Structure 1
C-alpha cells in the first residue's frame, strides 16, 4: 500500500503547489492569454479532483484484478531508466492502444534501421496495447505505461528518462506531459497525426485557445492526410511545423503470394475451415453490434450455408458476454483461446453439425485474421462510438464495411470510400445487402484488391518519411 499512500500524499502536495504556481506558469508560457490560463487551471483542477477515482481503480487493479505493480509504478513516474553507458540519443514513443502500437512499431523499426545507437522507450495506456508491445516489438530498449498526467508524476518520469525527443502517436495530446517535455528541453513530435471530428469541433469552439497553446509546443506535426493537416492548422498549429508524411498504418507491403498463402493455410486449418468457406470477419465490435451481426449472419446463411462468421470484440473482457449472446442465437460459440490451448481440435469443428460462430478472444491476432476474410466489418461504427481502424483489412485487399459513426476515423473512411475499397452503411438492411454483394461476386472482390494495391502504393514510405523528420530534429 506504500505506492497508494505515496499517490495520496503527492496529490495533496501537488494540488496546492499546482494551484499556487499555475497562474505564473501559464502566464510565462502565454502572458497575454488569460483564457489559456483558465483552461489549464480547469484541466489541472479536474485532474486532481479525479484522484480518488484513480486511487480506487489502482486498488481494484491490484487487489481484485491481480495485475501487479508494474503499471502503478509507471503511473506515478517510476519509469525504466536508460542505460548509463549508452551514448545514443533517447526517444520516448507513446501509443495509446493496439492500433497505435502497430503504427508505432513500423516507425520504431525504421528508426532502428536508420540509427542503431538510439535508446527507445515505448509506453501505452491500455493493457492490450502493452501486451502486444511486449510480444511483438523487440526493437525498443524498454516498454512501460504512460505516467498519469499529474505534473509531479510526469516531472519525475522526465527526469528519469530524460528524452531528447517525445513522439506522440496519432492523437495523444497530454498537456502536462507535453509541457514537462519542453521544460526538459526535449523536442515534441506528433507522428501519424490525426484529428477526429469530435476533437475538431471542440477545438473550433470553446477549446481553441487551449489547443493553440498546446500545439505551439510541438516541434513537428507529421500528419497522415491533407484533411488532418488542414484541420490542425485551423486549430492553431504553426503551418511551418506541419508536414503531410502519409499514413503509417497503410505503409505496409502486401504479403507476397507464398507468404500470404502459408498464413491463410495455417489459419484456415486452425479454425477447422478450408478454401471453400466464405468468411466474414467482424472486428472491434461493441455492445449492441454483435446482436445486429448475428441477425445479418442468419439471413446470409440462407444464401451461403458454408459462410463462417468470426467476431472480435473490441474489449476482450466482454468475451463471456459475447459468447452467451452467440449461444442465445442458437450458434455454437468456438473460442479462439480454446483452439490455441488445444482443448478444441480443428477436426471437431469441421465435423460438427452445429453452425459455429468464432469468437476471437485473444489479443493482437485480428490483423492477421483479416487475411482469411472474404469481407470485413469494423465495429464501433453501427453505434455512436466513433469507429476503429478501418484500414487493417485493406492490407489483404479485403472489402471493408463500416457504419456511419466513424467520426474518430473520418479521414481514413473518406480515403477508403474514394478508392472504392471501403463501404459505409447506415442500416442493418444496408449492411446485409453490401456484404451479400461481395460474397456473391469474386469479380467485385478482385476489383477491391486491385484498388487496395493502389492505395497502399500511394502511402508507401510514410514510416520512412516520419522517421527522417524525427532524426532531423536530432541532427542525425
Structure 2
C-alpha cells in the first residue's frame, strides 16, 4: 500500500494534465476541476456522511439510500461524490435533496494522498460509504488515519477479480478490505468472495433493486405513443455489438403484424451503424420519431424510461453476448416483461429471482427471442402475468434502503 501511495503521489502532475485533457474533451467539468484535487469544501454544521458512487448507474442506485438516511436522521447532511459529468447532470435533475440544504454534490478527488487529505480535512466526514467496487487504497488509509469509519455498500467483486486477488495478493487484499468497518454485499455470491478475502461481511442486499423507476418526460412519451399509433412495440435495451444482428433477425422472424422494434444501443455513438443494419431506420438523436417502418433507433442517453413505458416487452442487452447483461430490474420496476439471454453474470441473482417470479423469460438466441416476443405481444394473459410478477418483485425491494441506512447510521453513531 505504501508503494501505491508513493506512485499516486508521483503521478499527480500527470494526473492533473490528464484531467485538463479530459475537460477539453467534455469528459470533465472544467469549472470544477479543483474538486478533483480535493478543493471546494463547504462543510455544514452537524454530522456529515460521505457517499461515493463512481458513475451514473451507481449514483442513481444510491439515491434511495441517501434519501433514507436523510429521513432517518434529520440532523444529518449527505455529501455525495461521483466521478463523471453525466452523473452530476442527472443528480441535479433527479435528486430534489440538493435543493433542500441537506445534501451536496462534489466531484470525487482522485486517489492521490495529498488530494484526498485536502478533501477530508475540508469536509471532515463522520462516516463514509462507497458503492459497489470503489475500493481506493489511499482514500481508505486516509479515513483510517482520521478515525472515520467506512463501509462498502452494494459491494461487488467479480469472479475474475476475486481469483486474481486470492491467487496473487491475498495479504494486500485482506489489508485493503480491512479498511472497511463493514461490507454490505450485493449478493450471496459477492458476500462469499469478500468473506474469503477477510472482509467483515454482513447479509447481502442489492440496492439497485430499490432504485426509483427510470424517469420519462410526459410530453415526449405522448409524442412517441402517437407516432407508434397503437402498433405492438418491443424494446431492445442497451444492446452491445453482436446483438443488434440477432435483434433484427428476431424482429423479422416474430411475424407480429405491424411490429415496431426500438433498439437502444448501449453506446449512442453506434447509432448510425445500428440504423444502417436496420435498413436506414430513423434515429432519435437526429430528431426522428418512429415512422411506418419496422425499426427505430433511440441513440440517446437517459431516455430508457420512455421506451420501457412504450414497450410491451423488453430484451435486456449485453446478455446474448458475453458481456454479462445490463440491469433487468429497470424493466421490472416499470412493469415491462423482460427477455434475457444466457450471459447474466453481472446480475446473476436478480435475473434468477426475476425468472423464478415469472417476470423474466430466458432466451438463448434470435429464434428463442422471436418466439418470446411473439408470445408476450400476442397473448394478453402471458403479458399480464409477467407485469404482475414484476410489480410484486419491485414492491418487495422497497425496504432495502431503509435497512441499509440503519446499518450506516449505527456505524456513524457508534
Which TM-score band applies after superposition, normalised by the shorter structure? Answer: 0.7 to 0.9
Select 2:256's aligned residue among 274, 299, 304.
304
| 1:76-115 mapped onto 2 (5 Å cutoff) | 76-83=37-44, 86=45, 88-115=46-73
Shift of 1:360: 4.2
CA contact (8 A) 1:110 1:467 kept: yes
Select 2:207's aligned residue among 248, 255, 262.
248
CA contact (8 A) 2:228 2:260 kept: no
CA distance in 2, matches of 1:48, 1:375: 50
Is 62-71 or 229-238 further displaced after alignment?
Answer: 62-71
**Secondary structure of the structure 2 residue equivalent to 1:157:** helix
Residue aligning to 2:162: 200
Distance 1:355 1:453, change over 3 A: closer
Shift of 1:461: 0.5
CA distance in 2, matches of 1:296, 1:448: 20
Residue aligning to 1:322: 271
**Secondary structure of the structure 2 residue equivalent to 1:243:** coil
CA contact (8 A) 1:123 1:146 kept: yes
CA distance in 2, matches of 1:138, 1:210: 40
CA contact (8 A) 1:294 1:326 kept: no
Select 1:75's aligned residue among 2, 27, 36.
36
CA contact (8 A) 1:278 1:306 kept: yes
**Secondary structure of the structure 1 residue equivalent to 2:236:** strand
CA distance in 2, matches of 1:44, 1:289: 42
Residue aligning to 1:31: none
Residue aligning to 1:341: none
Select 2:234's aligned residue among 277, 280, 283.
280
Residue aligning to 1:358: 297
Larger CA Rg, structure 1 vs 2: 1
Give the unaligned 5+ runs of structure 2: none
**Secondary structure of the structure 2 residue equivalent to 1:121:** strand
Distance 1:309 1:45, change over 3 A: farther
CA distance in 1, matches of 2:335, 2:245: 27
**Secondary structure of the structure 1 residue equivalent to 2:21:** helix
CA distance in 2, matches of 1:172, 1:280: 35
RMSD of aligned Cα (Å): 3.1
* TM-score, normalised relative to structure 1: 0.76
Select 2:93's aligned residue among 113, 125, 135.
135
CA contact (8 A) 2:263 2:295 kept: no
Shift of 1:209: 2.4
Residue aligning to 2:281: 332
CA distance in 1, matches of 2:40, 2:360: 41
CA distance in 2, matches of 1:177, 1:367: 35
Select 2:149's aligned residue among 187, 196, 200.
187
**Secondary structure of the structure 2 residue equivalent to 1:415:** helix
**Secondary structure of the structure 2 residue equivalent to 1:284:** strand
CA distance in 1, matches of 2:13, 2:355: 45
Select 2:325's aligned residue among 383, 387, 391.
387
Shift of 1:148: 1.4
**Secondary structure of the structure 2 residue equivalent to 1:148:** coil
CA distance in 2, matches of 1:314, 1:226: 28
Residue aligning to 2:247: 293
- CA displacement 1:263-296 (0-9 Å, x = unmatched): 8896143353457322222222233333332333
Distance 1:163 1:254, change over 3 A: closer
